Structure 1
Amino acid sequence: MEKRELEPEGVSEHSLIQRVDVRNTAMILLTSVAVLYFISWAQAVLVPLVGAILISYALDPLVSWLEKFHIPRPLGAALVLTILVITIAGASIPLKRETIAILDKAPWAIEQFQRAEARSTPDEEGVVEKAQDVAKKIEESAEDEEEEADEPDVMRVRVVDRPFNFRKFLMEGSSTILVVVSQVFSALLLVYFMLAAGRLYKRKVVKLSGPSFHRMRKAARIMNEFHGQVRRFLFVMLLGAVFVGFFTWLSFLLLGMEQAVFWGVVAGLASVAPYLGPFLVLVGAGVAAFIQFSSIEMGIVIALVSLVITSIQGNLLLPMLTSRVSSLNEIAIFIGLLFWGWLWGPVGLIIATPMLMIIKTLCDHVTNLRAVGELLGK
């Protein structure tokens, strides 16, 4: 009786619970939208941060190994980063030469292709020539109709295309280049500080997790799982890149493709970005083969070979190895790639799986988030 007197007139207990659930759901949705907007808005800051964390995870074993030889972590971190930068800079020089060599052959290949088309008989007229003839006839008929409909009092306006302004193009692109260079430099500095700090922040997180020993041990276990899963995933990505690079180089070499080493290195690096990287290599290698052989058939063959290699790596090798180093299911990985690719572009495709691993590990250890972890798991 007392319970009924306390309840408002006409309002049942079920309706109150339903109203509270709707309010909580609305708050969760609004918070999620705000978080997504913040992540997209703060991309210039978060991308170098996430990239630096992943790179520091990959390089930390080397710095720890140098520490065993009584080399201080700040000095070891500087040494490892210096070797990494010098290696990348040294490898970029021959790649630049290979790129210039391919571009130098482009005008010659196009000229050869045009000569071959000019030598073809009228019976061998292709689809492009027929489309050009049709377009020319349509333009001629449209011009005849305009001349008939012209009146003396009507002023005809002619649109003149402005020449390409290289200085304007350079000024507009310089801001983007400056942003990219500053982000790379910031990421390298952050990697150095993380490597030099070592386990400082891990100890701070464990200390802040709470005074109880159980909570501190749980926080330490979560951090260890973070590090272990990300390092294993980076190792799997390295194996996949080596697989794609080696077999791309070998296949292109056997097919007589010039600059086979260049395409092997490019294909291996591009395989780190799922879907987008292999697609760009497929198109680029096909165009390069067309330029070299002056044959559309060879361009298609080279593109198909690149597609087969990246398909084996992306659909067989990488899922098999990833399933062993993580507990994520394939649907969650694919949705994560779509989400982070939409949010951060090519960088999002690279960091999507490590982010899902971290989220899955965190959800498995938090009681209220275990349902999310169950959806992400196998």
Structure 2
Amino acid sequence: MHSSHDTHTNAPPSNPLDAAGPAGHAAAATDLAPTHEPSPPADKREVALTILAAIAVIFALQWAEDFFIPLVFGIFIAYTLNPIVAWLERYRVPRVAGASLVMLVLLGSGAMAGATVYREARSIVDELPYTTYKITHAMREVRSSGELSTLDKLRRMADELKKAASPEPAQTTPPAVVKDGQTIPQVVIQQPEKDLDDWLWAGSLSAARFVGQMIMVLFLVFFALVSGDIFKRKLVKLTGPSLSRKKITVQILDDINMSIQKYMFMLLVTNVLLGLLAWVALHLIGLDNPGAWAVATALLHIIPYFGVLIAALAAGVAAFLQFESFSMMLLVIAVTVGISSFVGTLVTTWMTGRIARMNATAVFVALLFGGWLWGVWGLLLCVPVIVVIRVIAQHVDAMQPIAELLSD
């Protein structure tokens, strides 16, 4: 019969590590220590396929720009006008009637603005011969006074360098051929150069193409406003039965809607600021109708780069006709371009970064890429497109690197 002390002494240890002593505890600590396994390297084939797919998408967007530009532009306009239609619907106005009313107001405003611009353009065209004469006469007076002597020297130097760098012109009329005692002149058929009619024809085709795209945009906006949130419900339904996916999809669509509306509000604020600054500057210069020119500058500023140039040249011509001074014309052009550049480059880029919560570098790179991809339309649409991409990337785990690059 064993005593209780012996029983306690001979009992096996409850923890096997106690039997092994300190060495066992050290080995266990080594085994239980967290191990940092290196992440597997990226599959080269997957990376190559991703790069090729991105390049294919980019060139497909460029090749099918006649389809994608009206589509994207119409979607953004529909997002902008949808709150007005929804507000009318809350007052028991049928959605079809509300969408029709909004489109009629939009078309009426566009027609009034177009008629005003047409009258101004028609008056400028009618005065072109007189304007050309006055500009030519003023430049001759400036040359005779010696103010442009340096400019003339630079121009002559450029002409001399061009002549020295270009090869000798080929003989346009070949020598006559004498055959059987008779002189037979050689005939050379030259390709006629493009004249003004060709440029006008090309411009007419571009204008017809623009009108066709605008008609497509208007129809797309109307049908999108009439449909309401039907596409939103369909997208939520296509995500599957998972409730979490449905919530994420609804949140993404709501964030896209809010971001686009904020961006359009930013455009309104910056254009109003540009109009006020232009009005103050032109009023201080003494130009007639500074308010009308300020409104024209603000409206044309929506078209990146080209709109500013058109507004500046038109205001400069008006200044020359009023003051009959070439220096005042250059002053008005410089002031208009300077204010537009300040608002467009600094204020618009900064406000876009604050409202869309994107860094200014990403916005500027988006402008460069949009201009290369779709030209003027790309400059106008690239920022809202990149805002939508950022919103989607924030809610998709696989796109978190893109969201981090675009965020501020």
TM-score surpassing 0.5? yes
Structure 1: 5+ residue stretches without partners = 1-16, 140-144
- Corresponding position of 2:209: 179
- Corresponding position of 2:264: 234
Question: Deviations for 1:106-156, whole angstroms, at most 9, x for unmatched residues?
Answer: 3223323444455679673844766679979x99xxxxx999xx9776969
Among 219, 234, 237, the residue aligned to 1:204: 234
Instruction: Write the distance in 1 (CA, Å) between the matches of 2:60 and 2:314.
Output: 35
Which is greater in Rg?
2
Instruction: Write the distance in 2 (CA, Å) between the matches of 1:281 and 1:310.
Output: 10
- Corresponding position of 2:5: none
Q: Note the C-alpha offset of 1:209.
A: 1.2
Counterpart of 1:323 in structure 2: which amino acid?
G
Q: Does 1:281 align with 2:303?
A: no
- Corresponding position of 1:91: 113
Structure 2: 5+ residue stretches without partners = 1-39, 164-168, 178-184
Q: Note the C-alpha offset of 1:298.
A: 0.9
Q: Aligned pair in 2 of structure 1 residues 366, 74: CA closer, same or farther (>3 Å)?
A: same
Map 1:1-378 onto structure 2 (within 5 A): 21-116=43-138, 124=146, 126-127=148-149, 164=195, 166=197, 172-378=202-408
Q: Note the C-alpha offset of 1:164.
A: 4.3
Secondary structure of the equivalent of 2:43?
Answer: helix
Q: Aligned pair in 2 of structure 1 residues 111, 158: CA closer, same or farther (>3 Å)?
A: farther
Instruction: Write the distance in 2 (CA, Å) between the matches of 1:297 and 1:258.
Output: 17
Counterpart of 1:47 in structure 2: which amino acid?
I
Counterpart of 1:53 in structure 2: which amino acid?
I
Counterpart of 1:370 in structure 2: which amino acid?
Q
Question: Deviations for 1:80-103, whole angstroms, at most 9, x for unmatched residues?
Answer: 000110111012222222222233
| Amino-acid identity (%) | 31
Instruction: Write the distance in 1 (CA, Å) between the matches of 2:212 and 2:297.
Output: 26
Q: Aligned pair in 2 of structure 1 residues 114, 357: CA closer, same or farther (>3 Å)?
A: closer
Q: Note the C-alpha offset of 1:306.
A: 1.2
Q: Aligned pair in 2 of structure 1 residues 109, 207: CA closer, same or farther (>3 Å)?
A: same
- Corresponding position of 2:33: none
CA RMSD of aligned residues (A): 3.3
Q: Which moved more, 1:51-60 or 1:317-326?
A: 317-326
Counterpart of 1:188 in structure 2: which amino acid?
L
Q: Note the C-alpha offset of 1:302.
A: 0.9
Question: Deviations for 1:216-260, whole angstroms, at most 9, x for unmatched residues?
Answer: 001000000000000010011011112212332343234232453
Instruction: Write the distance in 2 (CA, Å) between the matches of 1:133 and 1:161.
Output: 30
Q: Aligned pair in 2 of structure 1 residues 261, 158: CA closer, same or farther (>3 Å)?
A: farther
Counterpart of 2:351 in structure 1: which amino acid?
L
Indicate conservation of the 8 Å contact 1:49/1:187, yes or no: yes
Counterpart of 1:343 in structure 2: which amino acid?
L
Instruction: Write the distance in 1 (CA, Å) between the matches of 2:323 and 2:46.
Output: 64
The one of the two structures with greater contact order (alpha-carbon pairs below 8 A, sep at least 6) is 1
Aligned residues: 352
Instruction: Write the distance in 1 (CA, Å) between the matches of 2:204 and 2:308.
Output: 28
Q: Aligned pair in 2 of structure 1 residues 38, 117: CA closer, same or farther (>3 Å)?
A: closer
Q: TM-score, normalised by structure 1?
A: 0.81
Secondary structure of the equivalent of 1:331?
Answer: helix
- Corresponding position of 2:166: none
More helix by share: 1
